[in-house]
Amino acid sequence: MIKINNLHCKVEAQDGEEKPILKGLSLEVPAGEVHAIMGPNGSGKSTLSYVLTGRDGYEVTQGEMDFSGEDLAELEPEERAAKGLYLSFQYPVEIPGVPTLTFLKEALNAQRTARGEEEMSAPDFLKLAREKAKAIGVSMDMLKRPVNVGFSGGEKKRMEILQALILEPKFLILDETDSGLDIDALKTVAEGVNTLRADDRGMLVITHYQRLLDYIKPDVVHIMADGRIIKSGGPELAHELEAEGYDKYLTEVA
Amino acid sequence: MGVITHTPAEQTLIDLLDGAEDWRAAAREAVVKFGLPTKRAEAWKWSDLRRATQGIEAAGVAGYRLDGSAIGPQITLGAGEEMMLDLTATAGVGIAALEIHVPAGQTARLIERHDLAAGAFVTARLEITLGEAATLERVVISEIDADAVGALRTRVVVAKHAKYRQSAVSFGSKLSRHETHVSHAGEGAEVDLGAVYLLAEGRHADFTSTVTHTGAGGVTRQLVKGAVAAHAQGVFQGKFKVEQAAQQTDAKMTHRALMLSDKAEIDAKPELEIYADDVQCAHGNALGAIDETALFYMRQRGLSEAKARAMLIESFLTEPLMLIESETLRERVTGLLRVRLGEMA
């Protein structure tokens, strides 16, 4: 589903200087699998999520990113979204003045149009939104409010998963979805994510802590440091990391 | 003082005003002596009227029409009336003037549209007086030709306990000057001034206002928001003057604008001039660019860059329009913004 080969990426900092962040990252996530990426701060985890989704300022200098047979680097962010790539943001963005329902209806119909499907009618969309919101414990009242404005950290993360439930992407990248969540919210969000697990859908779960992986059980765990995957293994690798910390891997890189 | 050489537009204006009385005589005198204002005049430094009217020579026809009919120099509104006021002008130099009175205790709504043809230069004066406890809502929609010039000045006298609520939308032109000067009697009187400007490439709009509080306890709220494309220019000059007698004045002025390009120009001059010691007056002014993080977030959800931009600009600009009481009218004005944003994408 997603194949990343020897990916190098540099990022333009605010002062205009370019810094290499990804340094030959290779990763393959087949359909139906959930992979986790764990790594210390600054290892390039968030950069990977942005370069895959096409954020400005994240430039691929070498390597390939293939999504279901297509070269991602050739596509605009909205084209990648329409092909089914979804990023749950570490810091979901507030958009004052745009009601969440309006935003999601516009987004869903933009994706459908791009895929050559018919737009969803307003009543059908409302029915869909109501059903999915209920499943993840979000009130319709919240959906009438502007996107993420005034929401707590936990509410924002819940909204990210609700958006995924409505947009039904083929591949999800969850960037630090557990941060800012208490244990009850974490369980609800994980339940939402688990309902999205399917044979034709892949997921990449980016996290600093092992805690989230108790609820979203990965098939494979990768450890990332200094812009590369330095070790891959089964779910037991996450527990090993939790017990021993990242130090061992950092010294290996150094 | 040296004798100035008049431009053709100035000469036509002088001829049109020949033999006039009241403000027209004073205006004629000023043009004879100094010509039209240039950027060297402090109040016009970002709106050079003399320069903008270059190339306009002959006289044109301009005037106000109420509900589609020509009207005399004075009208009285009241009894919950809603009136459509149109300022129209053909190419050439034109003058329009109207006095509007809302008697004490009466309520009225005025929807004002500007329709100036290419090559028109209009000097317009509107004198509005509100009697005690009168209410007037004025909604101004200024959609004029890109090649028209408007110097549109409104004076409003607000008596005690009266309410004046003005919402203006301008899409600019070669030069569009919207002046509002309010004399605010306080004593329970309230003034709301909302304005929005959305300027496509090459256009100019200038919102200049003064609110003078003369009596105690007056409330004024002013919110002006704009978005300006490349090679376009937005101007905001707002002044609150609080006289010594106007204690307990509560006045707040905010101007916020988006630069849609590095080549956009926005000039702002908020001013407070306060002679009373027990007042609450504040002004805020902020210029910014579109939030690139929000733009990426929206595109990641599948919206095209153009659509995402238009949604962000629209949501930014509509805040002052919340003043408009009628939901239908508010939707109509928002619809106009949306159409323009679509054209600018």
* pLDDT range class, residue A118, cuts 50, 70, 90: very high
The ipTM assigned to this model is 0.96
- Cβ-based contacts of B291 with chain A (< 8 Å): 93
Tell me how many degrees the CA angle B341-B332-B251 measures, rounded to the nearest 5: 85
Residue A238 to residue A147: CA distance in whole angstroms: 34
Summarised one tens digit per residue, pLDDT across range A131-141 is 999 988 899 99
Average model confidence (pLDDT) across chain B: 96
Per-residue model confidence (pLDDT) at position A199: 96
Number of structural domains chain B divides into: 1
d(CA B273, CA B293): 39
Does A82 sit within 8 Å of B298, measured CB to CB?
A: no
SS3 A102: helix
In chain A, the domains with their CATH numbers are: 2-253 (3.40.50.300)
Instruction: Say whether residue A118 is in contact with chain B using an 8 A CB cutoff.
Output: no
Instruction: Report pLDDT for B21.
Output: 86
Tell me which chain B residues have a C-beta less than 8 angstroms from the C-beta of A148.
none
Tell me, yes or no, if B305 comes closer than 8 A to chain A by beta carbon: yes
Q: Residue A15's pLDDT is what?
A: 80
pTM, whole model, 2 decimals?
0.91
Specify the amino acid at residue A111: Q
CA distance B253 to chain A (A): 21
Give a yes or no: residue B155 inside a domain.
Answer: yes
Q: Judge whether B335 lies within some domain.
A: no
Instruction: Answer whether residue B2 shows pLDDT above 60.
Output: no
B220 pairs with which residues across the strands? B191, B251
Q: Do A110 and B297 touch (CB under 8 A)?
A: no
DSSP state, B44?
A: G
Domain that holds residue B209: 62-292
- Answer whether B294 touches A (CB < 8 Å): yes
* Tens digit of each residue's pLDDT (9 = 90 or more) over A13-34: 878 888 999 999 999 999 999 9
Residue B175 lies in a domain: yes
Please name the residue of chain A whose CA is at the shortest distance from the CA of residue B304: A78
Q: Is B300 domain-assigned?
A: no
Q: Is the pLDDT of residue A250 over 90?
A: no
pLDDT digits (tens, 9 = 90+) for A22-68: 999 999 999 999 999 998 888 999 999 999 999 999 999 999 999 99
**Hey, which residues 42-71 in chain A have their CB within 8 Å of chain B?**
53-56
d(CA B105, CA A108): 51
* Of the partner residues A80, A96, A111, the one whose CB lies closest to the CB of residue B315: A96
Q: Is residue B113 part of a domain?
A: yes
Chain center to CA of A180: 16
Would you call B229 helix, strand, or coil by DSSP? coil
